[in-house]
């Protein structure tokens, strides 16, 4: 009898295991989709990519989902968002917003956060034209309401400008990361009550300057950065290798300042590298505060992502929700002319991160936002989907923000439209990541592009060309040298010419030059 009982138990377990395996090998119909974007955060600024900053909710997505070792953006806010939401490196009329695809598939569309597009993105792709509910702002605006009682840029609700007094917020003083989430949660309730699938686009502004954060968040990090950027950078590097998001044989690039001569003013204290031990104790304390505020901004974003996860769990929809987390570009070292004598943190301050701290964020890579070097173009990407993605997986297959729109098409099971708003559609420039989500090998795209024109990178296969300030192309075997420590341009001049010729041909094949 005992043997029969054990046999029965074995059969049941086997059936369940087969069922789970089948579920992961077949895409469930119409999952809910949440796309979360952070702003100006480096490769190593998230816990599951090596950071000491507390990000338990993002880490939870990674531990129960998939992390990309290599994922590219367009190295700046507006081109990244333009490419992410249309699947195009550049375009114009005929571009299709991914929310137009989800709407076609019967989704309820919600957006709360930052909108910032290149000029080529059509008016019909703006938030109020593609989302059922939208709360958004254009580019930079403060986290706290300034003493003037007015934000530097307006906020829009369903396409209409609203004043600070009309912004819905659950906690005072109002803080932007919190009230972005307040709107999202209110509309999530509505979406879930409707019973159909939903798409939530949640582009936070964290951790873009100005460095403003709630005091209790800052307090958690005060003093943690007194050891300095040099030691912390080495610690993050070793931690990232142990986590598996960097190859074991990866190198830590030498520390360097911001070489972008087109970003002015260039102030040595903000743009140059200098050893931490060369500073006085008073200087170290001031710099500790600067990084503590930056860490606090990221921490607060993670807390709000936790609020979203809690809502999904309470409503019983988490398991059939695909959540993707990514960043628009690497850490930003650009000095702001609005910096005053007020230290970073409160509503009347306007501080920005300096190159030495941004260099920590971009560990182990070179350079910063706007640059095609990996420090500007290579940031975290996490995908969480319990019904499809095996937990705790890491892939070395590279991806790019232009791959998100083709992935949506695969998920939705619909055809790409032939026309949009009376214009013939522009073919997508990326390819679907769904095979990677399923643990399969996808055919790698023929090329990846990132960086502004004078800071462009072009990668094809294992090799990448990149330039700085419009200078000559450098060449790297990016598989063997992901930190770009050894340029092969002189040794392999023919390869540089081959990739440069391929890049020029790709540009001619696109609708218009990338600016």
DSSP string, 127-160: HHHH-SEEEEEES---SBPPTTSS-SS-EEETTE
Q: What pLDDT, on the 0 to 100 scale, is given for residue 27?
A: 60
Residues in the chain: 515
Do 408 and 401 meet the contact criterion of CB atoms below 8 Å apart?
no
What fold is seen in the domain 30-442? Alkaline Phosphatase, subunit A (3.40.720)
pTM score > 0.75 for this model? yes
Q: What pLDDT, on the 0 to 100 scale, is given for residue 337?
A: 79
Q: Which two tokens stand for residue 113?
A: 């956060």
CA 362, CA 85: separation in Å to the nearest integer? 24
CA 357, CA 293: separation in Å to the nearest integer? 12
DSSP 123: G
Residue 340, classed as helix, strand or coil, is coil
Nearest alpha-carbon partner for 28 in 417, 401, 410, 442:
410
Do 502 and 496 meet the contact criterion of CB atoms below 8 Å apart?
no
Nearest alpha-carbon partner for 211 in 283, 290, 151, 145:
290
Q: Bridge-partner residues for 458, per DSSP?
A: 449, 465
Q: What pLDDT, on the 0 to 100 scale, is given for residue 335?
A: 86
Helices vs strands, H then E, count in the chain: 15, 18
CA 157, CA 160: separation in Å to the nearest integer? 5
Q: What pLDDT, on the 0 to 100 scale, is given for residue 28?
A: 63
38-305-98 Cα angle (round to 5): 55
Do 71 and 80 meet the contact criterion of CB atoms below 8 Å apart?
no
| 3-state helix/strand/coil string of 56-96 | HHHHHHHHCCEEECCEECCCCHHHHHHHHHHCCCCCCCCCC
CA 33, CA 386: separation in Å to the nearest integer? 13
Q: Where are the domains of the chain?
A: 30-442
In the numeric block, the tokens 């040794």 are attached to 491
CA 258, CA 273: separation in Å to the nearest integer? 8
Dihedral sign (CA 405, 411, 415, 419): negative
Residue 510, classed as helix, strand or coil, is coil
Do 328 and 72 meet the contact criterion of CB atoms below 8 Å apart?
no
Q: What pLDDT, on the 0 to 100 scale, is given for residue 510?
A: 83
Do 297 and 46 meet the contact criterion of CB atoms below 8 Å apart?
no
Q: pLDDT by residue for the chain (515 residues), tens digit each?
A: 434 444 443 333 333 433 444 344 456 679 999 999 999 999 999 999 999 999 999 999 999 999 999 999 999 999 999 999 999 999 999 999 999 999 999 999 999 999 999 999 999 999 999 999 999 999 888 999 999 999 999 999 999 999 999 999 999 999 999 999 999 999 999 999 999 999 999 999 999 999 999 999 999 999 999 999 999 999 999 999 999 999 999 999 999 999 999 998 889 999 999 999 999 999 999 999 999 999 999 999 999 999 999 999 999 999 999 999 999 999 999 988 787 789 999 999 999 999 999 999 999 999 999 999 999 999 999 999 999 999 999 999 999 999 999 999 999 999 999 999 999 999 999 999 999 999 999 999 999 999 999 999 999 999 999 999 999 999 999 999 999 999 999 999 999 999 999 999 999 888 554 44
Give me the sheet containing 381-384, strands edge to edge.
Answer: 160-162, 155-157, 133-138, 108-115, 198-203, 32-38, 321-327, 381-384, 66-68, 393-395
Q: What pLDDT, on the 0 to 100 scale, is given for residue 16?
A: 40
Cα 208 to chain centroid distance, Å, stands at 12
Q: Residues near 471 by Cβ (< 8 Å), separated by ≥ 6?
A: none
Q: What pLDDT, on the 0 to 100 scale, is given for residue 339?
A: 79
DSSP 122: -
Q: Which two tokens stand for residue 93?
A: 């009329």
Q: Output the CA–CA distances (angstroms, integers) from residue 307 to 184, 246, 303, in the order listed.
A: 10, 30, 7
Could you count the other beta carbons within 10 Å of the beta carbon of residue 353?
30
Q: What pLDDT, on the 0 to 100 scale, is given for residue 8?
A: 40
CA 42, CA 245: separation in Å to the nearest integer? 14
Nearest alpha-carbon partner for 478 in 515, 450, 504, 440:
450
Nearest alpha-carbon partner for 107 in 196, 202, 200, 203:
196
């Amino acid at each position: 009898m005992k043997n029969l009982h054990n046999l029965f138990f074995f059969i049941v377990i086997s059936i369940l295991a087969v069922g789970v395996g089948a579920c992961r090998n077949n895409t469930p119909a119409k999952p809910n989709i949440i796309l979360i974007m952070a702003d100006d955060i480096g490769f190593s600024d998230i816990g599951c990519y090596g950071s000491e900053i507390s990000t338990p909710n993002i880490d939870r997505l990674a531990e129960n989902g998939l992390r990309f070792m290599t994922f590219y953006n367009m190295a700046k806010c507006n081109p990244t968002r333009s490419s992410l939401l249309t699947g195009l490196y550049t375009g114009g009329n005929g571009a299709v917003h991914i929310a137009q695809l989800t709407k076609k598939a019967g989704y309820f569309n919600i957006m709360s956060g930052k909108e910032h597009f290149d000029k080529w993105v059509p008016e019909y792709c703006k938030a109020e034209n593609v989302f059922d509910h939208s709360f958004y702002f254009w580019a930079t605006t403060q986290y706290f309401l300034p003493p003037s009682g007015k934000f530097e840029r307006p906020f829009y609700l369903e396409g209409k400008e609203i004043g600070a007094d009309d912004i819905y917020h659950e906690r005072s003083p109002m803080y932007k990361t919190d009230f972005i989430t307040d709107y999202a949660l209110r509309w999530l309730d509505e979406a879930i009550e409707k019973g159909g699938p939903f798409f939530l686009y949640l582009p936070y502004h964290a951790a873009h300057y100005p460095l403003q954060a709630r005091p209790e968040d800052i307090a958690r990090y005060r003093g943690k950065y007194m050891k300095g950027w040099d030691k912390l950078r080495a610690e993050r590097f070793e931690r990232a290798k142990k986590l598996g998001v960097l190859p074991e044989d990866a190198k830590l690039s030498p520390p360097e300042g911001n070489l972008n001569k087109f970003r002015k003013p260039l102030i040595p204290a903000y743009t140059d590298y200098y050893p931490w031990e060369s500073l006085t104790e008073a200087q170290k304390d001031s710099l500790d505060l600067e990084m503590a505020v930056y860490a606090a901004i990221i921490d607060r974003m993670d807390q709000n992502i936790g609020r979203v996860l809690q809502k999904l769990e309470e409503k019983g929809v988490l398991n059939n929700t695909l959540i993707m987390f990514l960043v628009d570009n690497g850490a930003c070292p650009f000095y702001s002319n609005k910096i005053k004598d007020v230290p970073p943190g409160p509503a009347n301050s306007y501080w920005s991160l300096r190159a030495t701290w941004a260099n920590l964020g971009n560990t182990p890579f070179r350079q910063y936002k706007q640059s095609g070097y990996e420090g500007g173009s290579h940031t975290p990407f996490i995908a969480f989907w319990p019904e499809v993605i095996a937990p705790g997986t890491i892939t070395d297959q590279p991806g790019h923000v232009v791959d998100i729109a083709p992935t949506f098409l695969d998920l939705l099971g619909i055809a790409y439209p032939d026309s949009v708003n009376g214009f013939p559609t522009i073919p997508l420039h990326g390819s679907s990541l769904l095979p990677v989500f399923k643990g399969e090998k996808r055919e790698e795209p023929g090329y990846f592009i990132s960086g502004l024109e004078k800071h462009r990178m072009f990668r094809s296969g294992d090799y990448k060309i990149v330039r700085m300030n419009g200078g000559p192309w450098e060449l790297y075997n990016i598989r063997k040298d992901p930190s770009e420590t050894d340029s092969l341009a002189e040794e392999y001049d023919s390869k540089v010419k081959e990739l440069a010729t391929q890049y020029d041909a790709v540009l001619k094949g696109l609708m218009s030059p990338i600016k």
